């Protein structure tokens, strides 16, 4: 009897091993496909992320070994670093105005290009180009020349009689940040394409029914288009908020944080402390603070989305 039980156990073990081998063999191709991504994720994302967390608790410059100092970097940032608060204030001001302006411009053009007209595809592609080039060094240099005291923007305003003398729009504390906001609003191509896709999903029958009931174009826009487009607005809002929070190239090239630190956005300040001054530990702490701020902002938007995002299902 005991021998029979032992034999059954052996058969069960063999079946179990064969089953595991089959599962491994079946999934082997899948593991092989994700292996390049997995190696890249571990080597270029997870490892640097964990190392930056470690460095944020150390005094570490480019030369020398990291020295553990606990929370000292964070205490210095929050309690004595005035430029940290200034950069945070500038970044929030920039994001609060740049994101709505970019989304409004993107939605307006998406509405314009919604209907198929001659050369519509050409115009869609042409208006998407700023989204590709807007963050480049070349466009930033052009923008700096455009809004400088000798730039074309002054020529236009002088010819229209709106100003009496030339102004350096990027050199004046009250206007410098607005030149960066204007550049951000101009880069509407990416959200415009997403809005176009969302507009095409709205059933035409709803507009036809509204027209029969005597609804005006504005009423159709506010009662049909906007509510049914809220999932797309939600997506665009999140993506653009994160992107603009991390804006660097434009501020670095056009104004270099000036004048009087009025355009010292957070990413530029982080770069100065971490790379230019070589304080890698301090810079890592700044990076983790902005990561936490972005996470909190994203959670707040997600939590409030059930009050204003409409899902048809």
Please choose, from the candidates 44, 193, 181, 178, the residue with its C-alpha nearest in 3D space to the C-alpha of residue 132.
Answer: 193
According to the model, what pLDDT value does residue 234 have? 95
Rg (CA), the chain: 27
Please choose, from the candidates 47, 243, 297, the residue with its C-alpha nearest in 3D space to the C-alpha of residue 305.
Answer: 297
Measured between alpha carbons, how far is 31 from 25 in angstroms, rounded to an integer? 10
Using a CB cutoff of 8 Å and minimum separation of 24, what contacts does 38-42 make? none
Q: Report the predicted TM-score, pTM, of the whole model to 2 decimal places.
A: 0.85
Q: CA torsion 22→28→31→36, rounded to 10°?
A: 170
Per-residue model confidence as pLDDT tens for the chain (313 residues) = 556 666 666 666 666 666 777 777 778 878 888 999 999 999 999 999 999 999 999 999 877 889 999 999 999 999 999 999 999 999 999 999 999 999 999 999 999 888 777 777 888 788 777 777 766 788 888 899 999 888 899 999 999 988 888 989 999 999 999 999 999 998 888 899 999 999 998 999 999 999 999 999 999 999 999 999 999 999 999 999 999 999 999 999 999 998 989 999 999 999 999 999 999 999 999 999 999 999 999 999 999 998 888 876 6
């Amino acid at each position: 009897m005991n021998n029979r039980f032992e034999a059954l156990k052996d058969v069960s073990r063999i079946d179990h091993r064969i089953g595991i081998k089959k599962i491994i063999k079946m999934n082997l191709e899948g593991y092989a496909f994700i292996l390049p991504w997995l190696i890249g994720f571990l080597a270029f994302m997870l490892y640097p992320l964990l190392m930056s967390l470690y460095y944020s608790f150390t005094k570490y410059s480019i030369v020398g070994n990291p020295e553990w100092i606990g929370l000292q970097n964070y205490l210095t940032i929050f309690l004595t670093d005035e430029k940290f608060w200034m950069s945070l204030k500038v970044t929030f001001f920039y994001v609060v105005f740049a994101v709505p302006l970019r989304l409004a411009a993107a939605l307006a053009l998406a509405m314009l290009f919604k209907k198929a007209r001659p050369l519509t595809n050409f115009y869609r592609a042409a208006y998407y180009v700023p989204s590709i080039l807007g963050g480049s060094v070349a466009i930033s240099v052009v923008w700096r020349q455009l809004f400088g005291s000798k730039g074309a923007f002054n020529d236009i305003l002088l010819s229209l009689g709106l100003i009496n003398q030339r102004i350096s729009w990027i050199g004046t504390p009250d206007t410098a940040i607005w030149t960066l906001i204007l550049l951000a609003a101009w880069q509407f191509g990416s959200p415009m394409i997403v809005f176009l896709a969302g507009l095409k999903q709205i059933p035409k029958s709803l507009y036809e029914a509204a027209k029969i009931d005597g609804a005006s174009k504005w009423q159709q826009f506010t009662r049909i288009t906007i509510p049914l487009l809220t999932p797309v607005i939600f997506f665009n809002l999140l993506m653009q908020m994160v992107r603009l929070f991390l804006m660097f190239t434009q501020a670095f090239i056009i104004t270099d944080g000036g004048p009087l630190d009025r355009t010292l956005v957070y990413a530029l300040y982080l770069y100065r402390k971490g790379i230019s001054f070589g304080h890698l530990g301090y810079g890592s702490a700044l990076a983790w603070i902005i990561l936490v701020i972005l996470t909190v902002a994203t959670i707040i938007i997600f939590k409030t989305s059930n009050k204003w995002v409409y899902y048809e299902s």
